[in-house]
Amino acid sequence: MLLSTDIWVSALIRRAEIEGAYATVVRRGDPRGGAVIVKAFDTSTRRARLFTEAFGMDGERQWIQPVSSEMEGELDAYVSRQVGYDPDLWVVEIEDRQGRHFIDGKVVDQA
């Protein structure tokens, strides 16, 4: 059984805060099954990355970067478009000196 989205988001925020990062919910979606976009902002370089859930070729749940840009304006534009498509979408922003995302699970990082 998977966790409801609101509990998963709370755990993500708690993990980030324990490690000294600042995390907040920018947009609340459906508490039970809303999709989540995580925006990880690196405060030392002033760059950001987005992560969203996807399924791999083997059906395994993973997190991918849907936009290759690190420009915050382009990432915010992507998020705005996604909110238009999915009103149940959650958006979490994390600010960290190292740009960490704190996602637990498989993350396909594009360096």
- Domains detected in the chain: 5-96 (3.40.1530.20)
Backbone angles phi, psi at 7, to 5 degrees: -70, -40
Amino acid at position 41, single letter: F
At residue 91, the pLDDT reads 97
Distance CA 47, CA 26 (A): 18
What global pTM score does this model have? 0.91
- Which residue(s) pair with 93 in the sheet? 24, 39
DSSP SS3 for 41: strand
Number of Cβ within a 10 Å radius of residue 109: 10
Structure tokens at 17: 């805060």
| pLDDT by position in tens, the chain (length 111) | 478 999 999 999 999 999 999 999 999 999 998 899 999 999 999 999 999 988 878 878 899 999 988 888 999 999 999 999 999 999 999 999 999 999 988 888 655
